[in-house]
Copies of this chain bind each other. A is one copy, B any other.
């Protein structure tokens, strides 16, 4: 296969399809989503067979257990895919809505219309369910999609793509509105990263290695997720019971997610009231604590934290703990060591909560709740294409809106500029 010319073909077809999807009405898009869900429900056997091929190859290649776990489809995950598409069909259609329409002095009326971005390219790793999920979100937002999944999931992804194509064409939309790259050749990714003419936005989803490669090689605008060094700050005006509950949940509900707390900051005035209890809870759950001197005085036996610890996203059963003088030092610590992802304050003092909200420059800033809530579903977006740690266009959990843009619309009655 001639990869460059194959990829240019994919790009051209996506661009052409994007114009048809952009003007599709809500009923047509929802029909495509629902028919895809039906096809997936009907083809469970075929999807499992395709997945079995990928799993065999993965085992032969001695891929590691977590990867094989992410690669595996079951009747339940397949039903979940179909259900996800039906949920996307139920979400309000963002496209075409005109907002902020205002009459100007010249007589023209000026507003903004929500429109699709055009062509969205998503590069992801082993989970095949992303194929259905991403296809559904792009379609609902009126975009064409180019999907490049992990090479180890190629048979599963092709089988899911067949269902998507059936849904699209049965609804009268072009199958090329969702293209799954048919080759596992890594050169295809290299081409994709340079298809500025055909791709309006890139969404790399996966490990940091993937994101960094995409950032280094591509100049296409992207929605990307880097680090999640998330903090909980327990203020000295915190409700102790809430503070303990939130800090516990933020660290231990799941260890490996990007919105898990990695550093706990505690105000000096309350440290001896919350740290001993929290230390007991964390140790019972197998969390290793690494503290500064003040924390280690209160909780004997805690390992000392190094400068490196404050910067680290453990994604593991380790927590850094620092005692701070109060709100100012907490905000300063987060500004220096944080990753602008998600940070929470526990306090009953409204003015301090307000300052934390305003001054902490993170994509999610939380008062009196767990950092684990930073998620598209928990925020009511209905679905999520990813979490953005960038500041432009889309920040934090990104749903349908992040896959759209606003253009200016002007209604006149023969007005001219003088």
Contact = CB atoms under 8 A, between A and B. Distances in A.
A270 interface: no
A39 to B, nearest CB: 29
Contacts of A372: 416-417
A239 interface: yes
Interface in A289-337: 335
Nearest to A380: B104
A117 to B, nearest CB: 6
A46 interface: no
A6 interface: no
A416 B250 CA distance: 8
B417 A249 contact: yes
Contacts of A267: none
A359 B406 CA distance: 13
A363 B113 contact: no
Contact of A253 (B19, B391, B409, B417): B417
A370 interface: yes
B110 A379 contact: yes
A19 to B, nearest CB: 7
A410 B365 CA distance: 6
B392 A221 contact: yes
A136 interface: no
Contact of A391 (B19, B200, B241, B361): B200
B408 A363 contact: yes
Interface string A71-115: 000000000000000000000000010000010101010100101
Contacts of A405: 391-392, 395
Contacts of A245: 414, 416
Given A416-B370, A417-B249, A358 B23 contact: yes
Interface residues of A, number: 69
Contacts of A417: 249, 253, 370, 372-373, 378
Number of this chain's copies in the assembly equals 2
A362 interface: yes
Interface string A335-376: 100000000100000000000011101111111111011100
A369 B108 contact: yes
Contact of A366 (B249, B357, B370, B410): B410
A242 B289 CA distance: 74
A201 interface: yes
A283 interface: no
A215 interface: yes
Contact of A407 (B363, B367, B378, B411): B363
Given A368-B413, A414-B246, A408 B392 contact: no
A118 interface: yes
A397 interface: yes
A412 interface: yes
B23 A359 contact: yes
Interface in A203-244: 215, 219, 221, 239, 241-242
Contact of A395 (B368, B406, B410): B406
A359 B359 CA distance: 41
A407 B395 contact: yes
A255 to B, nearest CB: 13
A396 interface: yes
Given A221-B221, A395-B407, A415 B373 contact: yes
A29 B378 CA distance: 36
Cβ-closest 3 pairs across A and B = A369-B412, A249-B416, A242-B414
Given A117-B391, A363-B407, A369-B411, 9 more contacts: A108-B369, A110-B379, A113-B358, A200-B391, A201-B392, A245-B414, A372-B417, A396-B407, A397-B408
